[in-house]
Structure 1
Amino acid sequence: MELINWFTVMVPFLCAMLLSWGMMPYIILISFKKRLFDPIDSRKLHQNAIPRLGGVAFAPIQCCVLIATLVCLYKLNIGGIDLHVASWIILPSMALLLCGLFILFMVGIADDLIGVDYKWKFVAQIMVASLLPLSGIWINDLYGLGLIVSLPAWFGMPLTVFVVVLIINAINLIDGLDGLCSGVVAIGVAVLGILFALHGAWLHAIFAFITVAVLVPFFYFNVFGTSRRRRRIFMGDTGSMTLGFSIAFLVISFAMNNHHIKLFTEGSIVIAFSTLIVPLLDVARVMYIRWRQDKPVFKPDRNHLHHKLLRAGLSRHSALLFILVLTVLFCLFNITAVRYLNNNLVLLMDLFLWLGFHRMFNVLEKKRLINRLQLFINL
């Protein structure tokens, strides 16, 4: 039965990957013909015309493949995936997940094509984030973090809305280096998909692997480009917002103390959010720096982690690889550590490691700046 369930996961995974791989070259072609390019400014790392509509493929493929899979499972009743229970416990959350993806998809397209004021995007994000508590998915347990265990609905539901909006914007803000956003999200979603499958939450695992499948072709075209002219593509706000909502749904579903989704585990919340440690802590650090320097906290700058790695002397691909490896290490460390250590201690160790990495690259950045000054003086 376990093998049949894994087969049930792999079929939609392959279908989504084939659809994404087939759509991406056509999106690139249409974008170049219609000249739908990402604007170039001093903050951007690229200086060439690159289209930013790659994310247009994400939500439609996710929704279509997930709906087709659910219909097939209902008709075939495969393995241990019981949709008769899921129909009143899990499927409502899946339905509102698809609604949220559709709303962010429409807002993202409008923003990528004609531009949308950030206030209206923020309103749309709050509205979409509210769909999760309405469907029964909300943070109801902190598992001892800060000595807090269960949370009442009047606090947990608004907290969930805040966290979802934070995740959506964190994913959007790390989309500043080729392959970074798609790579970090793909790793996080893949980890969650495997964990859901190991806990028997097969519907969530299916959605997670569909999301990974959509991102694999995009990652290739974003980093390496097409085979002929090496034309690359960005995901734009359409992609980053729908990806942010997708991983937020999976993270909160895993962190929630709900036996209908999976069995109780003490480290669920730490494991779930370990997949987002890099973007969340990076956004928190950048916001703090802007606030300390009396700058608008939402004004874009070049203080993100990937900017720091580039200033320290790493190439773009090396910086990308470092952040992806860092994401994997945080996930593996937390999954292992929560089995032996208290959640609060694991969180403190995460913060210590994060600050240690930044301290190391601050030193490298200063040394490189000093070497440049010495070279300039010698000239």
Structure 2
Amino acid sequence: MNSLELMKYGTVLLPFLCAMLLSWGMLPYILLISYRKRLFDPVDSRKLHQHIVPRLGGVAFAPIQCCILVITFVSLYKLNIGNIDLQVASWIILPSMALLVCGLVILFMIGIGDDLIGVSYKWKFVAQIMVGCLLPLSGVWINDLYGLGFVIGIPAWLGMPLTVFVVVLIINAINLIDGIDGLCSGVVTIGLAVLGALFAYYGAWLHAIFAFITVAVLLPFFYLNVFGTTRRRRRIFMGDTGSMTLGFSIAFLVVSFSMNNHFIKPFSDGAIVVAFSTLIVPVLDVARVMFVRWRIGKPIFKPDRNHLHHKLLRAGLSRHSALLFILLMTLLFCLFNIVAVRYVSNNLVVLVDLLFWGGFHYLFNVLEKRQLIARLQLFINL
């Protein structure tokens, strides 16, 4: 590895370390303020926790992401630190990065309002559509399906609305998967790490830097969320502020990686399948839950306890075991798809993914029904 390559990896490592230190520094202050002002997540029958826990951990995410990203962008382009060629012209990347920051700020403000006083889901939906429109406006939109569904290139009039729909879907999927400690942050961390490594491999260094900045912000939160204790006042939730900004962050990277645009990265046949493999678990879980609600006649947006993590908990797994199971499933989907797209078509890879997901839930439902019948028989015998 020559000195130029080392400097490129250094441009990723330094923002990563700065973001991690800022996150470690901000979260204790957020905890202190939350306890003093009694800003806690409400405890109800649908929640798994039974103690007061602050829900403003996500307040630390967007400010650190935006601050470190802007400083890094200015340092690399305006000040030309290290004289590093990032293989993309600033006039191409600047609009997408600028509107990425705008979208994070909008969702940050809506999220804080929702976590503190509550915001109607209609207004949150409007805000999500608004930030979804920022990606096509900046020139980032899904313009190629790479043969998925036997469709290759798609026109702007179809690709741009599709991009807005995908962004809103991802934001809500990430928000809805935030059901047990570490699940949302863990799934997003794995997805961002995979995308960041892929962007670095293709030489799209600014996208890789943003991905690893977000990973760095999440690591301290993940530790406090999973291993922090309520008695020592070291446990915290991310709230809607965190889940929505994280959803938009990974949506930006997924759409950027999926886009057939040589200015960002070289062409790759399996780009769209590889990109969305990072979101298979949350997106398919939300789709399955909404389908079940529709089939039994319940409102599709009404919360319930039918998500994947709820099913694993009902099966007897501990929260940490359920978390580890879902994180491993997410990682395996990513690794399988990255390797599989090199040898078989995108359609076949997606078919295998869907068959695995459907088969897993079918077997799980069968076992769950057998356990329920066995418990009923035992109760009758008693």
TM-score range, shorter chain: over 0.9
Aligned mates of 2:260, 2:356 — CA distance in 1: 28
| 1:37 aligns to 2:40 (yes or no) | yes
Structure 1 segment 179-198 matched on structure 2, within 5 A: 179-198=182-201
Mapped contact 2:86–2:206 kept (Cα < 8 A)? no
Instruction: Kindly report structure 1 stretches of 4+ aligned residues shifted beyond 6 Å.
Output: none
Say whether the 8 Å CA contact 1:81–1:203 is kept in structure 2. Answer: no
Distance 1:81 1:43, change over 3 A: farther
Which of 76, 82, 95 aligns to 1:78? It is 82
Match of 1:253 in 2: 256
SS in 1 for 2:68: helix
2:63 to 40, 60, 63: 60
Contact (CA 8 Å) 1:313, 1:368: kept in 2 or not?
Answer: no
Q: Which runs of 5+ in 1 are unaligned?
A: none
- Aligned-pair CA distance for 1:41: 1.4
Letter in 2 for 1:144: G
Corresponding pairs, count:
378
- Equivalent-residue separation in structure 1 for 2:83 and 2:264 (angstroms): 17
- Alignment partner of 1:312 out of 293, 310, 315: 315
The residue that corresponds to 1:376 in the other structure is: 379
The one of 131, 134, 137 equivalent to 1:134 is: 137
Q: For 1:28 and 1:377, how far apart are their aligned partners in 2?
A: 49
Partner of 1:241: 244
Letter in 2 for 1:120: W
Q: Name the SS for the 2:309 alignment partner.
A: helix
Alignment partner, residue 23 of structure 2: 20
Percent identity of equivalent pairs: 78
- 1:103 is matched with which residue? 106
TM score, norm. by length of structure 2: 0.96
- The one-letter amino acid of 1:335's match is I
Which SS does the other structure have where 2:89 is aligned? helix
Residue 176 of structure 1 corresponds to 179
Q: Structure 1 residue aligned with 2:118, among 112, 115, 119?
A: 115
Moved more, 259-268 or 70-79: 70-79
Deviations 1:68-127 (A, max 9, x none): 1112212134354348x5321111100000000000000000000000000000000000
Counterpart in 2 of 1:157?
A: 160
3-state DSSP of counterpart to 2:361? helix
Matched, 1:229 2:232: yes
- How far apart, CA to CA, are the structure 2 residues paired with 1:228 and 1:278? 32
Q: CA deviation at 1:334?
A: 0.1
1:252 positional shift: 0.2
Write the deviation string for residues 284-338 of structure 1: whole angstroms up to 9, x where unpaired: 0001001101111111111100001111111110000000000000000000000
TM-score (norm 1): 0.97
Q: Within 2, Cα distance between the matches of 1:257 and 1:150?
A: 9
Match of 1:148 in 2: 151
Structure 1 CA distance, aligned partners of 2:29 and 2:318? 30
* Aligned residues of 1:14 and 1:213 also touching (Cα < 8 A): yes
Where does structure 2 lack aligned partners over 5 or more consecutive residues? none
Q: Which amino acid aligns with 1:136?
A: G
- Tell me if 1:280 matches 2:283: yes
Q: 1:324 and 2:327 equivalent? A: yes
Distance (Å, rounded) in 2 between the aligned partners of 1:326 and 1:360 = 16
The separation in 2 between residues aligned to 1:165 and 1:224, in whole angstroms, is 31
Does the CA-based 8 Å contact 1:12-1:65 persist in structure 2?
A: yes
Tell me which amino acid in the other structure corresponds to 1:240.
S
Shift of 1:40: 1.3
CA–CA distance in structure 2, aligned partners of residues 87 and 77 of structure 1:
14
| Contact in 1 for aligned 2:51/2:230 (Cα 8 Å) | no
Counterpart of 2:92?
89
Query: Structure 1 residues 177 and 13 mapped into 2: Cα distance closer, same or farther (>3 Å)?
Result: same
Q: CA deviation at 1:376?
A: 2.7
**How far apart are residue 280 of structure 1 and its match?**
0.5
After TM superposition, give the deviation of residue 361 of structure 1 in Å. Answer: 2.0
Deviation at 1:63, TM superposition (A): 0.4
Which of 255, 263, 270 is residue 267 of structure 1 equivalent to? 270
Whether 1:361 and 2:364 are equivalent positions in the alignment is yes
Q: CA RMSD of the aligned region, Å?
A: 1.4
Query: For structure 1, which segment, 132-141 or 71-80, has the greater mean C-alpha deviation from structure 2 after superposition?
Result: 71-80
Q: 2: distance between equivalents of 1:146 and 1:329?
A: 23
1:342 is matched with which residue? 345
SS in 1 for 2:267: coil
